[in-house]
């Protein structure tokens, strides 16, 4: 039994094996980008909004509102990053109900990649907001003694993000697969429904935590911010 | 539970590509569309505010015009009322004047009627008085009364001397006419009295039962009477003079 879609090679390009994680990620990317492009292709102020466009506006506005509620500001760069995180994880988790589709978020490589992206984005947003000196100063606050703890805490964020998402999604998929072998008519359906709920919640949690980390790195004043991380699991 | 670092790298790249794709096809169009719609709504709201301000201005202008018209109407109404009041007063004054004039005319007419009635009454009274007096005198007439009349004529004869003197130039014989014969003493006194006035005249006596009671003296075509009729004529003349004086007084009172 393969626990990770990384082990499933779908096809090979130039001698490089493309596993199910990457291939399914491309599928998700194609779906998200294709649907978005399809809906927003004729988007003009003089054209009345369609239902699909209204649905997209609702989703984007909800993300913008959630980010503004956490960060107390409207920064489109945070929207691009966190919104993409949320939509990608949400789409990936919802697609677990498709038979034969190995969701990329069940791969530790994907969650690690997303965690590394967050881990890299936090200092980048912090530096962009406060400047390099201002951001590095947050590591020695409230005193220099806290420097190693802050560094460890910064990396532990990424690890916890990656493992939390991976564990929830992979365990759900594995449990569903096991129950499918034991009792194929009832429990898998329940587990799939539970997996959908869990997947939506995990996408929300991952995006909110990323927003909180970015907000803590960009918030002013820098003091009193390092210890206010919202931990949700 | 293993990590394929190539897959990790590929997923990072994929994620960054997805960020770009969604930014290009989702976030930008949606946010731009929302911004454009908000801008359009804001533009429409500004336009609505501008139209509202213009409408408020027009409303204020119309309200001012309405107020001006109301003032003009009130002024015109006041002027019409004043003019009507003036005309009413003038008409009332004219009516009062006509009423006074008519009242004066009626008063004058009443005064004229009263005066005419008074004159008629006075005339009738005078005539009745004259008639009664004449009848009484005629009923009471006798020798004594005629002698009294002759006595009165004797007293007045000197006053008529000039008239008789002028008449004597045409005749020297005077004739005394009475209804009844005068006593001889009276005749003698009359002859003496005439001779004092006309020393050359001769006096004759004649009676005429048809004559009125009294004395008539004829001389040279002139006759002077002292009869009851002459008294009554004198009374009638005086009554006429009194009636004329009364009418004149009534006319002056009415004026």
Tell me the domain boundaries of chain B.
1-108, 141-254
Tokens of B182: 């005068």
Contact yes or no for B37/A45 (Cβ under 8 A): yes
Q: Do B1 and A36 touch (CB under 8 A)?
A: no
Helical (H) or strand (E) element with B204:
strand B202-207
| Cβ(A195)–Cβ(A176) below 8 Å | yes
> From residue B89, how far is each of B10, B75, B98 by CA, in Å?
113, 21, 14
Q: Which residues pair with B214 in a beta bridge?
A: B227
Residue from the list B3, B14, B33 with its beta carbon closest to the beta carbon of A108? B3
How high is the pLDDT of residue B170?
A: 64
Burial tier of A107 (Cβ tally within 10 Å: 0-12, 13-18, 19+): buried
User: With a cut of 50, which residues of chain A have pLDDT below it?
Assistant: 222-233
- A133's tokens: 């000196």
Give A143→chain B minimum CA distance, Å. 34
Higher pLDDT, B28 or A224: B28
pLDDT digits (tens, 9 = 90+) for A118-140: 888 888 988 888 888 888 888 88
pLDDT at A233: 38
Task: Please give the residue that has the higher pLDDT: either B141 or A211.
Answer: A211
> For residue B27, what is the DSSP state?
I
CA distance readout (Å), A153 to A102, A119, A215: 32, 11, 16
Residue A18 near residue A12, CB atoms below 8 Å: yes
Q: Pull the structure tokens for residue A54.
A: 């209204």
DSSP state letters, A60-103: HHHHHHHHHHHHSS--HHHIIIIIHHHHHHHHHHHGGGSTT---
CA gap B12, B17 in Å, rounded: 9
**CB distance from A40 to chain B under 8 Å?**
yes
In whole angstroms, what is the distance from residue A17 CA to residue A13 CA?
Answer: 6
pLDDT, one tens digit per residue, over B5-17 is 888 999 999 999 9
Separation between Cα atoms, residue B43 and residue A16, nearest integer Å = 56
Angle at A180 (CA atoms; ends A177, A183), nearest 5 degrees: 145
User: Which of A20, A21, A44, A45 to mutate: most B Cβ within 10 Å?
Assistant: A45
Answer for the pair A202, A93: CB distance below 8 angstroms, yes or no: yes
Q: Report, at the CATH architecture level, how domain B141-254 is classified.
A: 2-Layer Sandwich (3.30)
- How do the domains of chain A map onto residue ranges? 5-218
Q: List the single residue in B7, B22, B31 with the smallest CB-CB distance to A33.
A: B22
* CA gap A168, B81 in Å, rounded: 97
Alpha helices (runs of H) in A185-225, residue ranges in sequence order: 187-218
CA angle A127, A129, A132 (to 5 degrees): 25
Tell me the per-residue pLDDT of B183-218, one tens digit each, with 9 for 90 and over.
888 888 888 888 888 887 788 888 888 887 788 888
Measure the CA–CA gap between A126 and A144, rounded to whole angstroms. 19
């Amino acid at each position: 039994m393969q626990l990770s879609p990384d082990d499933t090679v779908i096809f090979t390009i130039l001698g490089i094996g493309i596993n199910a994680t990457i291939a399914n990620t491309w599928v998700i990317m194609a779906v998200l980008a294709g649907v978005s492009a399809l809906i927003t292709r004729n988007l003009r102020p003089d054209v009345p909004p369609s239902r699909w466009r209204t649905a997209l506006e609702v989703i984007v506005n909800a993300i913008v509102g959630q980010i503004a509620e956490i960060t107390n500001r409207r920064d489109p760069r945070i929207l691009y990053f966190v919104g993409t995180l949320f939509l990608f994880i949400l789409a990936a988790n919802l697609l677990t109900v498709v038979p034969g589709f190995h969701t990329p978020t069940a791969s530790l490589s994907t969650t690690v990649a997303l965690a590394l992206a967050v881990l890299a984005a936090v200092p980048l947003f912090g530096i962009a907001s406060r400047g390099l000196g201002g951001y590095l100063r947050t590591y020695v606050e409230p005193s220099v003694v806290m420097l190693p703890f802050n560094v460890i805490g910064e990396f532990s964020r990424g690890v916890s993000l990656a493992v939390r998402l991976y564990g929830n999604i992979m365990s759900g998929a594995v449990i569903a697969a096991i129950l499918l072998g034991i009792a194929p008519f009832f429990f898998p359906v329940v587990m799939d429904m539970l997996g959908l709920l869990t997947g939506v919640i995990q996408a929300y949690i991952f995006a909110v935590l990323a927003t909180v980390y970015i907000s803590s790195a960009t918030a002013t004043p820098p003091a009193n911010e390092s210890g206010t991380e919202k931990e949700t699991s | 539970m293993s990590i394929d670092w190539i897959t990790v790298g590929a997923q990072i790249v994929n994620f960054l590509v997805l960020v770009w794709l969604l930014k290009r096809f989702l976030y930008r169009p949606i946010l731009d569309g929302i911004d454009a719609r908000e801008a359009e709504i804001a533009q429409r709201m500004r336009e609505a505010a501008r139209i509202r301000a213009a409408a408020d201005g027009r409303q204020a202008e119309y309200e001012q015009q309405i107020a001006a018209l109301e003032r003009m109407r009130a002024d015109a109404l006041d002027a019409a009322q004043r003019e009507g009041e003036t005309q009413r007063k003038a008409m009332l004054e004219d009516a009062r004047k006509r009423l006074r004039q008519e009242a004066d005319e009626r008063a004058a007419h009443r005064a004229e009627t009263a005066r005419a009635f008074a004159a008629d009454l006075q005339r009738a009274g005078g005539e009745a008085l004259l008639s009664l007096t004449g009848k009484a005198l005629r009923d009471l007439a006798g020798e004594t009364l005629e002698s009294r009349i002759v006595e009165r004529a004797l007293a007045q004869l000197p006053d008529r001397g000039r008239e008789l003197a002028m008449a004597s130039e045409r005749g020297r014989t005077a004739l005394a006419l009475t209804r009844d014969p005068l006593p001889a003493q009276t005749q003698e006194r009359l002859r003496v009295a005439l001779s004092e006035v006309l020393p050359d005249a001769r006096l004759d006596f004649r009676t005429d039962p048809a004559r009125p009671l009294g004395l008539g003296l004829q001389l040279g075509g002139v006759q002077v009477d002292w009869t009851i009729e002459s008294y009554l004529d004198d009374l009638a003349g005086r009554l006429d003079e009194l009636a004329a004086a009364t009418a004149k007084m009534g006319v002056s009172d009415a004026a």
